[in-house]
A and B are shown apart, each in its own frame.
Chain A
Amino acid sequence: MGTNWAWFHRFGSPPHVYRLAGLLTPWFAWPAALSILAALYGGLVLAPPDYQQGEGFRIIYVHAPSAWLSVMIYAVMATAAGVGLIWRMKVAHAAAASCAGIGAWFTVVSLVTGMLWGKPMWGTYWVWDPRLTAQLVLLFLYLGYIGLRSGIDDLGRADRASAVLALVGVVNIPIIRYSVEWWNSIHQAPSVMKMAKPSMPMEMLVPLLLMFLGFTLYFAAVMLVRLRAEILRRERSASWIREALR
């Protein structure tokens, strides 16, 4: 084993990652809280109502970042799973495991907010809009991943099997998105669905971008906390835990 690998394995060792995650968490959590608060104020108070959608458009400040996170988290999860599978790094598997729940939750949030948005816009809670449909399929992918993980008793096997699934899923997600859009373009009159997207005024756009940043930082913070919990659970019989928790 070369020196590079020794470094790699020390870096990926559970105690090291546990400590590092603990150190990093506040550095993500506080900026996340600040930017989300600022974005909420900017989005709910400062930004003017939309000329078409009125006050209802404000749900975009939750909906769009959740949708972004739901996809990004799957990519992060698949990357972690791939690293765990290829380099047999247990911490990477733990990271993938701690991503799944957050990702599934943000998918639910984006679906629910999308439906709430849809009620005043479309007059119904559910329209087979390509983005909503793709989110629904993504939720099923997350549920499958979580189901597979909990279906296998042995942790090592559950890690690797779900990693294979995550990789298959990440290859499939772009294809699913493309096929759903293709399907929608055939079956729906595009004019109904396509929201006119004029360039957003600055007062609306800045809070939105801030919200994206805040959500992403929030994900990082929550993931690190969950990763620590996951490491504790997995390493509960290891000797370093006693010292770490003293």
Chain B
Amino acid sequence: MLVLHRLLLAAPVAELVDATDLKSVGRKAVPVRFRPGAPQLVMSPLVVKNLTVYRGERAILSRVSFELDAGRVMIVTGPNGAGKTTLLRTLCGLVEPEDGQLCWRAVPCSFRDPQYHLELAYLGHDAPLKMDLTGRENLRGLVGLRRVIGPSDVAMALREMQADSFADRAVRTLSAGQRRRIAFAALGLMGATLWVLDEPITNLDGAGEALVQTALSRHLSGGGMLLAATHQPLGLDPLRCDSLALGAARS
């Protein structure tokens, strides 16, 4: 899966950049950021322009633009009510924007494009779990809509998040942190390139936070992308991180 994704990610690069260049920098070639001003040869895989969202008469987001390269993180910050969650949900096609364009892998597309959705995974504020099902069953239901997975895949994903000890209990009986771990196990299995996470490390204990950090780092070094709204530092390599401040800059 990842091999495929890396190939896909590299495709526009390989077309435009000299092949020797690519080889010399190795895998790092993908996340290279072009200096502003320099002619931009490669478009970032995710380009969002002029995103404007109204709720009633109030502009929640006005003309938000950003780009995200493979292997990089965009941290969305801002005070409560600045529109962080709205930004993430709009990006996922859950909220209809008033205006705004999306380019995914250099192709203009709709926020509701199913192909784009297949490469995107979203975890909201609460883990999207069914209270009456066990973690394992939830995992199958969440991931099974997207790809074919077997019990061994599920078991491995749960083990990676050290969730196997409670994976067979009804989610109702689990703590918020445990639920988050299950949700992250699902996220890993979905095989998406772009992770859109709302407050990813709330409710997690120290060990859980470390596990999530590992998962996020692995996702990034595999060429994945991360867009996260958060108040807490995620503990990721600062060189990979950009930030998008909402609220303050808005007029």
Contact = CB atoms under 8 A, between A and B. Distances in A.
Contacts of A24: none
Interface of B: 54-57, 96
A2 interface: no
- Shortest 4 CB-CB distances between A and B: which pairs? A237-B57, A155-B56, A154-B56, A154-B55
Interface string A153-166: 11110000000000
Nearest to A153: B56
A110 to B, nearest CB: 35
A133 to B, nearest CB: 39
A interface, by DSSP: helix, strand, loop or mixed?
loop
A155 B55 CA distance: 8
B110 to A, nearest CB: 13
Contacts, number: 12
Contacts of B54: 156
A156 B55 CA distance: 8
Contacts of B55: 154, 156
Interface in A128-181: 153-156
Contacts of A153: 56
Nearest to A234: B57
Q: How large is the interface on A (under 10, 10 to 19, 20 to 34, 35 or more residues)?
A: under 10
B4 to A, nearest CB: 36
Contacts of B96: 156
Contacts of A154: 55-56
A153 B96 CA distance: 16
A49 B235 CA distance: 90
Contacts of A234: 57
12 contacts: A153-B56, A154-B55, A154-B56, A155-B56, A155-B57, A156-B54, A156-B55, A156-B56, A156-B96, A234-B57, A236-B57, A237-B57
A52 to B, nearest CB: 57
Nearest to B57: A237
A236 B96 CA distance: 22
A81 B57 CA distance: 20
A68 B139 CA distance: 56
B205 to A, nearest CB: 37
Interface in A37-69: none
Contacts of A237: 57
A154 B55 CA distance: 7
Most chain B C-beta atoms within 10 Å of own C-beta, residue among A153, A155, A156, A237: A156
A234 B54 CA distance: 13
B179 to A, nearest CB: 29
Contacts of A236: 57
B31 to A, nearest CB: 34
Contacts of A155: 56-57
B209 to A, nearest CB: 36
Given A234-B57, A236-B57, 10 more contacts: A153-B56, A154-B55, A154-B56, A155-B56, A155-B57, A156-B54, A156-B55, A156-B56, A156-B96, A237-B57
